Amino acid sequence: MTTQRRGQSPTQIQRVDRKRSVQVNAQVAGRALGDVARDLRENLAGVAMPPGYRWDVRGTVQQMQAAQAALGGALVLSILLIYMLLVALYESWLYPLAIMFALPVSVGGAVAGLFLTGNTFNIFSMIGMIALMGLVAKNAILLVDYTNTLRARGLERADALIEAACTRLRPIVMTSATVVAAMLPLAMKFEAGAESRAPIAVVIIGGSLSSTLLTLVLVPVMYTYLDSLQNVFKLRHAFKWPWQRTRPEAAGPSEPVPVYAPARGLSTMASIADGDGGD
């Protein structure tokens, strides 16, 4: 005899990593997704799960974490490529470091811009950070390159730095003002859907302003220290211990240098060509 009764059961069985799973979906409103995911993990960490059960945050949060990891690797790679290119251009390992010290200054300005405008550090912020690395390095490149040019002309290091800073101030301000003016409409969120892309402009504007204000102070200081360090390396390389020094050997008798004497026929032909020959 068959007995029928009414009950509850899932319409389909979902599996994750070959294990049964139950999904609980939720929408985030009014807060950043990363902040909500962090609070959710903190609350679930104190929940005692039965044996054989565990929880995990997936979906959009997992995709965001993978994208942030990829962009973080791209950011590190961009910094390394900038340094390698500067080493090849300046043919030095130390002078490019003076330019690279402008990058932390720009990062501080970018973070300050996000904080003042109420934006969060998200995927779009990281995209703006990668673009910022190439933009802010130009100010230090202009300063260091012209300093090396003036020193090659015979100026002392301090005088060359002062002259380069005074001469390159106008181009640095002009290029930074152009970047800020171009990014300002996007940062003001004038168009629909600009809220998600505004952090890109905020990061670039904040980093460009801080780099412009502090590059003329930080880069000359680091250039002075690194140039002194390079001079120490040169002296150490040129120094030789007494047992490394060799006496100059006595010069032996000089060998006769062969003198080329043209053949008689060639001399006769040259004389004929010059008009000194016979009739």
**What single DSSP character describes residue 244?**
G
Question: Is the separation of the CB atoms in 176 and 105 below 8 Å?
Answer: no
Amino acid at 231: N
Rounded to whole angstroms, the Cα distance separating 230 from 140 reads: 19
Distance from chain centroid for Cα 215:
15
N-to-C CA span, the chain: 145
Rounded to whole angstroms, the Cα distance separating 119 from 197 reads: 10
Question: Is the separation of the CB atoms in 128 and 196 below 8 Å?
Answer: no
> Does the pLDDT value for residue 241 go beyond 70?
no
**Dihedral pair phi/psi, residue 31, rounded to 5°:** -140, 160
Question: pLDDT tens digits, residue range 148-169?
Answer: 899 999 899 999 999 999 998 8
pTM equals: 0.68
Rounded to whole angstroms, the Cα distance separating 155 from 46 reads: 67
Q: Is 193 left (phi over 0), alpha (psi -120 to 50) or beta?
A: left
Sketch the domain layout of the chain as residue ranges: 60-236
E strand or H helix at 16, and its extent? strand 14-16
User: What is the DSSP pairing of strand 14-16 with strand 19-21?
Assistant: antiparallel
Rounded to whole angstroms, the Cα distance separating 116 from 114 reads: 6
Rounded to whole angstroms, the Cα distance separating 222 from 130 reads: 23
Question: Is the separation of the CB atoms in 134 and 82 below 8 Å?
Answer: yes
Question: pLDDT tens digits, residue range 198-226?
Answer: 889 999 999 999 888 888 888 899 899 88
Question: pLDDT tens digits, residue range 164-205?
Answer: 999 988 988 998 899 999 999 888 887 776 777 888 999 999
Which long-range contacts does 87-90 make (Cβ < 8 Å, 24+ apart)?
90/144, 90/148
For CA atoms 237, 150, 98, 71, the dihedral sign is negative
Residue 242, pLDDT score: 53
179: nearest Cα among 187, 167, 191, 169: 187
* CATH 3.40.50.970 is right for the domain spanning 60-236: no
Residue 42, pLDDT score: 85
Rounded to whole angstroms, the Cα distance separating 164 from 42 reads: 53
